[in-house]
Amino acid sequence: MSTLSFAVRDSSTMLRRNLLHMRRYPSMTLLLIGVPVIVLLLFVYVFGGTLGAGLGPTGDRADYANYVTPGILLITVVSAAQGTAISVAMDMTEGIIARFRTMAIFRPSVLTGHVLGSLIQTMLSLAAVTAVALLVGFRPTANLVEWLAAGGVLAMITFALTWLSVALGLVSDSVETASNLPMPLILLPFLGSGFVPTDSMPTPVRLFADYQPFTPVMETLRGLLLGTGIGANGIIAVAWCAVISVACFLWAKALYNRNRAA
């Protein structure tokens, strides 16, 4: 067999292992869906009236549910990424990783298994959170193609953040550290266009908000799902996702290959 077919076969074996883990411990997945759902309910039913009024002269709670949903979807992705970092760090404390390293298998397959597993888990979480958003008043105008494109954008940012969290899980020396390291990511939708338009922010914050990677992703999603303008945000979002994916893949690979025995 060629290297490529070994890579595919070993990665799919490891993916099966990760999916089995998720099936056996569904509480982790539920917990990861819980965070964005709570934030969604909080922002629609507690802050939604006031924040909706800030969106424009006719703005109300229903408009805010539409506005906030793309931000909530990114909170979902970040929450799942935290779960990935934890499960990678937990895996690294297990003796079985040493066994994998002494086998003639496609070496990064342990990591690709985690990434593909997390990608599936996150897409399912996103579907669940979108369903809750629809229940609380999210009214997208997207056609099928736009839905698919939005799914693609979410898959890209998930893929990028999953590689980041795999690297964070590897760089952590304990499961606790792995759980804390991705925490700041959850602030990024807030420090961007996720919850309020950036032009309402003071200049230094607004500059950060406009140029950080989450904002173009959220603007692209908003454009696809609600028909607002996308402009250059689509290209910028794709570029950010590609850069984060490649950089974090290389970082994770280097971390996995270093000698950890001591």
Return the residue of 20, 31, 235, 254 that touches another protein, per CB under 8 A.
Answer: 20
Q: For the chain, how big is the Rg over CA atoms in Å?
A: 19
- Taking the C-alpha atoms of residue 211 and residue 206, their distance in angstroms, rounded to an integer, is 9
Give yes or no for residue 202 binding another protein (CB under 8 A).
Answer: no
Give yes or no for residue 262 binding another protein (CB under 8 A).
Answer: yes
Give yes or no for residue 58 binding another protein (CB under 8 A).
Answer: no
Least distance in Å: CB of 158 to another protein? 23
- C-alpha pair distances (Å), 239 with each of 66, 200, 206, 214, 261: 26, 26, 21, 12, 37
Applying the rule CB under 8 A, the residues between 100 and 139 that interact with another protein are 100-105
Return the residue of 7, 8, 9, 128 that touches another protein, per CB under 8 A.
Answer: 9
Q: Are 198 and 224 in contact (CB under 8 A)?
A: no
Toward another protein, which CB reaches closer, 86 or 196?
86
Toward another protein, which CB reaches closer, 101 or 206?
101
Q: What is the separation, in whole angstroms, between the first and last Cα of the chain?
A: 35
* Token pair recorded at residue 257: 């290959």
Toward another protein, which CB reaches closer, 18 or 220?
18
CB under 8 A: which stretch of 88-96, 155-163, 183-191, 242-250 binds another protein? 88-96
Least distance in Å: CB of 42 to another protein? 33
- Taking the C-alpha atoms of residue 125 and residue 158, their distance in angstroms, rounded to an integer, is 11
Toward another protein, which CB reaches closer, 9 or 253?
9
DSSP codes of every residue in 194-232: SSS-GGGS-HHHHHHHHHSTHHHHHHHHHHHHH----TT
Toward another protein, which CB reaches closer, 4 or 262?
262
Helix (H/G/I), strand (E/B), else coil: 246: helix
Return the residue of 26, 27, 57, 99 that touches another protein, per CB under 8 A.
Answer: 99
Least distance in Å: CB of 23 to another protein? 10
- Taking the C-alpha atoms of residue 262 and residue 259, their distance in angstroms, rounded to an integer, is 8
Total residues contacting another protein by CB under 8 A comes to: 29
Question: For the chain, how many residues are written?
Answer: 262
Give yes or no for residue 4 binding another protein (CB under 8 A).
Answer: no
Give yes or no for residue 30 binding another protein (CB under 8 A).
Answer: no
Least distance in Å: CB of 116 to another protein? 15
Q: Are 143 and 225 in contact (CB under 8 A)?
A: no
- Taking the C-alpha atoms of residue 215 and residue 201, their distance in angstroms, rounded to an integer, is 14
Q: Which residues bind another protein (CB under 8 A)?
A: 1, 6, 9-10, 13, 16-17, 20-21, 24-25, 92-105, 259-262
